[in-house]
Amino acid sequence: MKIGLFSSSSALTEMLLIELMYFGVTVKQLSDMEQVFEMPEDKFFDALFIDADDKSINWVSYIHRLKENPKTSTLPIIVFCASKDKQYVNNLIAEGVNGFFDKSVSFQAYLPKLKGMLETLEKESANKRKYVRVKPAENENIVVSIDIGAFQKTVRGKLTDLSVIAAAFCLEENVPLIQLNDKTKISNFQITLEKKVYFCEAQVLRRGKEVVVVLFLKYNEKFKKALVEFIYKKINLTESIHDNSSTERSEEMNNTDSIQEIPDSLIEKEEEQEEISI
């Protein structure tokens, strides 16, 4: 699924990004709301998330336009708002928004409702969840390292693809297949992003001739946040609605064969362990 997000609140944006991207949603940041009306159908959103506390836009009027326009009339609209102006809130709801979240309540309090809404959106959408993948730029040399019990030293590699649940990398050293194969547990997977090192426990999904794909198992909030920020920047800096060339580059990155579809059983296992570790 692809969701358009307009929010001037950095705190709300950060929390939403983590939850949405770990659900398997591609998030596109919007600065010019007129972009929604100009988007080609094959790039269109499955839903629109709006921070209605930003008064730079007349949201009641804007949502009314969305509902009146044949192209956007069925677009699900989810509103986040902390305004105490009951008339303003009632006017927003009266325009037919599909979901309303009170920002004055803690984010964790309405998180279960948000996840339930995402599941409903997924059922109604032709675009199912997909963990978006990105590649480092040509001038980026992102190093990863792994520690496995059978090794007496740290093995290094170069990142080739990254999603919020898995990574693919080329090993710098020749590691015997018998020591690094499918389902091998990695006690310490490290990745360097923006000159900072983040680590987690992982498991080998596939070992090819040149590329190793690992699934992240146990990790902390810093690891989650770092991955989300890196991938989010890649998505929103390399793809522009009005720039066909950069759109093609983003699609090329997301369609890489290095990280294929993750088996449902492994995803479910990963989600269970995530709840334990956080």
Which domains are delineated in the chain? 2-124 (3.40.50.2300), 143-226+254-277 (2.40.10.220)
Please say if the pLDDT value at position 255 is more than 70.
no
Q: Above pLDDT 70, what percent of the chain?
A: 80
Nearest Cα neighbor of 81 from 107, 101, 110, 108 is 101
Per the prediction, the chain carries an average pLDDT of 80
DSSP string, 28-72: EE-S-TTHHHH--GGG--SEEEEETT-TTS-HHHHHHHHHHSTTT
pLDDT of residue 197: 94
Nearest Cα neighbor of 81 from 19, 133, 12, 143 is 12
Distance CA 61, CA 149 (A): 61
More confident residue, 43 or 272: 43
- pTM, 2 dp: 0.71
Band (95; pLDDT cuts 50, 70, 90): very high
More confident residue, 31 or 114: 114
